[in-house]
Structures are given as structure tokens and as C-alpha cells.
Amino acid sequence: MSIQNIWFERPRLIIIFIITWAVLIGSLIILKNLSSTVYNQSKISELKDHINCVTTNSEELSDYIFNYEVNSDKFLDAMLRVYSNKPENINLIRDSIINMYDNIYEKLNELGISEFQIHLRDGEQFICFNQINQFGTNLFDNQFSVELANIRQTSIKGFENGKQFTGYRIIYPLNYKSEHVGTVEISHPITSILKNLNQLYPEQYFTISEDDFQKKEEIISIAGNQKIHTNILHKIKQNIASKLSNSSLSGTHIFTIKIDGHYFDINMHPLYNFKKEPFASICSISENLNRENANLIFLLIFIFININLIALGWLVLNNYNKSKLIFSRSKELETQATKYKLAKEEAEANTHAKTLFLANMSHEIRTPMNGICGITEILNQTELSNEQKSYLSILQQSSDQLLSVLNDILDFSKMETHKLKLEKFPINIYSIIDEVENLYKNNAIKKGLRFSTNTNGDIPYFLGDPTRLRQILSNLINNAIKFTNNGSIALQIEKKSESCSEIELLFKVEDTGIGIDPEDLTKLFKSFSQVDSFTNRKYGGTGLGLAICKQLVLLMKGEINVTSYPRAGSIFQFTATFDLINPNYSNKKIHDNIQNLTLLSG
């Protein structure tokens, strides 16, 4: 194309140039806003996690004090006698309880717990350890938490504001000899919560109340270590007041302000009382050291894009050095590809690290769980009452279920890190069938289901991983029992093919259960996937079992699939290829001989 032809195309090229410029600049602005949104969401989530961590620590501390220091038969008996004594005797009971727990209140003060009260079941303030002479006030009128705890007769925990106390209230019910006798409050003031936040995390924390929204003066209440200079805090206070003119306590807010050349992120998290009403916000201040650099980078990118676009337009309009332009663009694409590759490798490394952590944690958790299961089994062999046996059965079932979940997570982490390997041992398929049948037949019978096994043909000994094969069959049969309410469960094994060194087996698990919609079948073998949320709520499970089965089947050089229709049952089948020990050696004969010996010995 000549310079003259380009000149006639100039208006069109200019339009294309302007559109391109607008798209790139718009994309840059959108990207900047998107990154800012992601950053803000992470800060909001971080503040929420910090508050949850501190309140959880406060709950554990109060629980320990209540369970091991306060909640005794002697104390409960004294509280029960309050309702059957004369007023003058009640004062004696009050004094005895004060003497009993006066030293405990001193310890609570040292731990930052200022509220230690005992209430009667009608809401009357019986003892207030921080104000011994204050009692007799009915708290139902102005302290909803006390009324709620006595109505529900269960422990309640949450933030609450009041005339004399604002903080994290924890109230425990007092039940003795089948009678509710009152409540005990072991609460943490908001100053203690802020102090713990400031000690544990690098941000500076403070609170904003409803009154502060109205006054917009002196709204910052600092507790704990002051990490930001007082002059800067004062200026931050003034900026927050101006930004809160149209804000509400009912939602989260995050914004950035600039003070003396420094950027500060202000993050506000609402606090709700027991009536679900917002009454204050916990806020954090953190200096954003990257904001100035981010603005500078954005400006440089903006200038860079404009310069390049102008240069590119000039080159296109003047038909200058096309080959050099193509080379330049190729280098740019190559640089971007390198960046994408590095980013991909970094993401994969992070995923690998998380998976390793998951595997390690599963190991760490599974060890004490094995201990719990073992102790439960030992207890089950001792003399217990029927009620104790019932509780022990529930404990044993729950432990086994949790251990099963941990095993699934561990297998999944091995899958993710490609560490899931198969062992090779001689396998007698008939022994595997007997073990699986003994394990699940009673469960099927309890649900009123028929359970059957069938082996077609003479299957010899072969080399494989009996544990993993048993795991696949157990998972499929367990699912069949779980999703079948009436009818039958059938396990069928047959020889599909055999050579001089290998044998291929076909395994089928057929049920008459609820079935699955054809469009949902693709979800079954994906990790963390179930047919729908209702299935998860009703039947439980991690959604890893079938994904692990699929991976194990692939390692066995086989395939797994399912045929199912709603209310028509399901057929799960898979193939697996194993190395033969001796193609002419039949373990069915051994199996029959063992049965005959058993009959003779009986």
C-alpha cells in the first residue's frame, strides 16, 4: 500500500485508532477498579476473621472458667436454696456465694473480664461482682440477652450494648436437679476485645457507635497498643467523620484516605446485638504502602499505552518499517507469554503447597482419631448400661464417619500431588467378596434390603492392591445402601478377558434406589461434587468418594461408568486389569475347599 492510498484511508484509520485507544484505556480503568474491589473484599474478610478469632478465644476462656471454676454442685445447691428461703436468708446465701467466688473475680479482672454476674431466673440481678452492693434490679427490661438466656435455658454468646456495659456477652444457664435456677454472665468488654485485636494483629483497631454517627466528634476509642501517631489519628478521625455523613452501621464499609502524604485503609465491620440490630462498628486502620506505587504504576501504564498507540498510529498511517513493527509486537507477545507461564507455575506451586498442607493436616488429625476409635472399641468390650452402650454406639459411628472423611481427604490430597500409588499383593477375589459382604450385609438387612453377591466364571489368583480394590467396592456398595430405601443390592464380578499374563475383571454394583437424572451423571465423578445441595444435606458426604474411585480405577488400567434413571435404580460398573500369578491356578477351588473344611469342623 502506497503513502497516497494510506492518506485516503486516514479517516477510517483514525476512527479505528480512537476506538482502540478508548477500549484499552477503558480496560485499564476496569482492571484497576477490579483489583481495588478484590483488595477491598480481602480486607473486609480479613477483619471479619480477626474479630471471629478474638471472640472465639474469649468464648473458650469464659467456657473454661464457667466449667471448671464456677459450675459446681455447691454453687448450684446454694442457688436452688434461694427460691425456698426467707429474704433474710437469701442475703446470707448471697454473701456466701460472694465469698466463694471473690478470688475468681480478681483473676477475671487480670484477664480483662470485667462482667461477672449472677442472675435469678426471673431476670433479677442477684450478684454483680464488680458492684457488690448493686442487686435486685430486673434486667429483662434493658438487657435482652439475660431474658433470652433464661427463656432458652441455653448458653448465648454475642455482642450487646448497654448503659453500663458494651461488649461481648457470654451467659450460661444454671440447671440443677431438673430445675432452672438462673444464669451466670462472664462477659468481655469492648475495650478488652479491642486490646486483644491490637495485640494480635498489625492494624490499629477502634470502635464507632451510633452516638458517634450523630456527633461525629471524638469517635475514635483506642484500646491496647497505639501504633499510629496521635496527630495522624486525629486527622484520620476528621476524615472518617466527613465520609460517614450518609453511611449506616448496618453494613461493611471500606475506604482509603490520604493524610500527610500517606494512604490509610479504613475498614468497618458492623456489630449486631441479640435483636439483630446494628449498634456499633469495629474499625481497623492500616497504612497502605502500595497505594502510591499503584497510582504511579497506573499513570506510567496510561502514559505508556498512549505513547505506544500514538507511535503505532503514526507508523500505520505512514507505512513505516512494517517488519520492525511486527517484530516488536512478537516480542511483546513473547514477554506476556513468559509472564503468563511464570504466573501459571506460581499458581501451581501454591496449589501444590496447599495440597501438601492438607495431606499433613489429615495425617495429624487421623492419628488422634484412630486413638479415639481404639478407646471406643475397648470401652465397648466392658460392662456398660444400655444407655451408655447407646451413647458409645453414637460415638463409635461418629468417629468412624469422621475417620472416613479424613481418609477421603488424604486420598484426595495424594491424587492432587500424584502420590496415589497401588501396591501389589496376591489377591483371592472370593475373600474380598466375603469381607465386603460381611461388612455391609447387616446394614442392608437393617434397611429391609436384599443383599447378594455373584461371581461368574473361575477367577484365579492375581496381583493387585486388595485394600484399594476393597475401597472401591465398599464405596459403591455403601452409596447403593445409602440411596436405596427398598428392594435389593447386588454385587456381580465376572471375567471379561484373560491372557497369559493379565486378567481383566468387570465389577457391577446394582441397586433399586432413587436413581439419578441423566443430565446429572457427569457430576458424579468430579471432586467435591454431588447431584444437588439437597442430596448433600440429606445423605451427607464429602463428594470425594467417586472421584477417588475413578482415580483408583484408572490406576488399575480400567474405566468406571454409571447407568441410572430417576426412581429406577443405578448400575455402577468398572473394569480393572491385573497381573496373573499363574493363569492355571484357580483360587475358586481353594475357596470351595475352605468352605468344605469349615463344614466338616462344624
3-state SS of 431-494 is HHHHHHHHHHHHHHHHCCEEEEEEEECCCECEEECHHHHHHHHHHHHHHHHHCCCCEEEEEEEE
| Mean per-residue pLDDT, 42-57 | 85
Q: Both 359 and 468 in a single domain?
A: no
**Averaged pLDDT of the chain:** 77
CA distance 183 to 125: 10
The verdict on residue 171 lying in a domain is yes
Q: Both 549 and 405 in a single domain?
A: no
User: Is 545 within 8 Å of 529 (Cβ atoms)?
Assistant: no
The verdict on residue 24 lying in a domain is no
- Among residues 388, 418, 448, which one ends one of the domains? 418
CA distance 269 to 346: 33
User: Residue 322: is its pLDDT beyond 70?
Assistant: no
Burial class (CB in 10 A: 0-12, 13-18, 19+), 537: exposed
Q: At 584, list the grid cell.
A: 492355571
CA distance 545 to 530: 10
- Among residues 392, 418, 444, which one ends one of the domains? 418
| Mean per-residue pLDDT, 71-79 | 85
Q: Both 529 and 437 in a single domain?
A: yes
Q: How confident is residue 147, by pLDDT bands cut at 50, 70 and 90?
A: confident
Sign of CA dihedral 223, 227, 230, 232: negative
- Among residues 133, 162, 191, which one ends one of the domains? 191
| pLDDT score of 339 | 84
| Mean per-residue pLDDT, 120-145 | 84
| pLDDT score of 124 | 87
Residue with cell 454406639: 393
Highest mean pLDDT among 3-17, 78-92, 178-192, 268-282: 178-192
Q: At 199, list the grid cell.
A: 495485640
- 161 forms beta bridges with none
Alpha-helical segments (H) within 204-276: 210-215, 230-243
Beta-carbon contacts of 353 under 8 Å, excluding residues fewer than 6 positions away, are: none
303 compared with 250, residue with greater pLDDT: 303
Q: Both 435 and 410 in a single domain?
A: no
Q: Both 456 and 575 in a single domain?
A: yes
Q: Both 496 and 592 in a single domain?
A: yes
What is the domain extent for residue 498? 425-601
| Mean per-residue pLDDT, 483-495 | 91
| pLDDT score of 4 | 45
Q: Both 366 and 345 in a single domain?
A: yes
> If you write DSSP's letter for every residue of 186-208 in order, what string do you get?
EEEEHHHHHHHHHHHSSSEEEEE
Count of residues for the chain? Answer: 602
Least confident span in 27-41, 222-236, 572-586: 222-236
| pLDDT score of 225 | 47
Within 10 angstroms of residue 195's Cβ, the number of other Cβ atoms is 19
The verdict on residue 320 lying in a domain is no
Using alpha carbons, select from 495, 501, 552 the residue that is nearest to residue 525: 552
User: Residue 151: is its pLDDT beyond 60?
Assistant: yes
User: Residue 81: is its pLDDT beyond 80?
Assistant: yes
CATH of the domain at 279: 3.30.450.20
User: Residue 574: is its pLDDT beyond 90?
Assistant: yes
The verdict on residue 389 lying in a domain is yes
Q: Kindly report, residue by residue over 493-522, the tens digit of the pLDDT.
A: 999 998 888 999 999 999 998 888 888 787
User: Residue 230: is its pLDDT beyond 70?
Assistant: no
Segment 131-140 long-range contacts (CB within 8 Å, at least 24 positions apart): 132/98, 135/94
The angle at the Cα of 81, spanning 79 to 83, to the nearest 5 degrees, equals: 90
Identify the helix (H) or strand (E) that includes residue 497: strand 487-498
Q: Both 561 and 444 in a single domain?
A: yes
User: Is 264 within 8 Å of 256 (Cβ atoms)?
Assistant: yes
Q: Both 143 and 271 in a single domain?
A: no
Using alpha carbons, select from 127, 108, 119, 126 the residue that is nearest to residue 144: 119
The verdict on residue 524 lying in a domain is yes
3-state secondary structure of 71: coil
Percent of the chain with pLDDT over 70: 73
- 186 forms beta bridges with 116
| pLDDT score of 465 | 92
Q: Both 179 and 225 in a single domain?
A: no
| pLDDT score of 561 | 92
The verdict on residue 243 lying in a domain is yes
| pLDDT score of 595 | 45
| pLDDT score of 469 | 93
Q: Both 454 and 389 in a single domain?
A: no
CATH of the domain at 493: 3.30.565.10
| pLDDT score of 350 | 67
CA distance 404 to 297: 51
| pLDDT score of 507 | 95
User: Residue 597: is its pLDDT beyond 50?
Assistant: no
Q: State the number of CA atoms in the 13 A half-sphere of 495 facing the CB.
A: 18
Q: Both 212 and 152 in a single domain?
A: no
The verdict on residue 106 lying in a domain is yes
The verdict on residue 570 lying in a domain is yes
Using alpha carbons, select from 514, 512, 454, 507 the residue that is nearest to residue 488: 512
CATH of the domain at 374: 1.10.287.130
User: Residue 64: is its pLDDT beyond 90?
Assistant: no
281 compared with 154, residue with greater pLDDT: 154
Structurally, how many domains does the chain consist of?
Answer: 4
Q: How confident is residue 372, by pLDDT bands cut at 50, 70 and 90?
A: confident
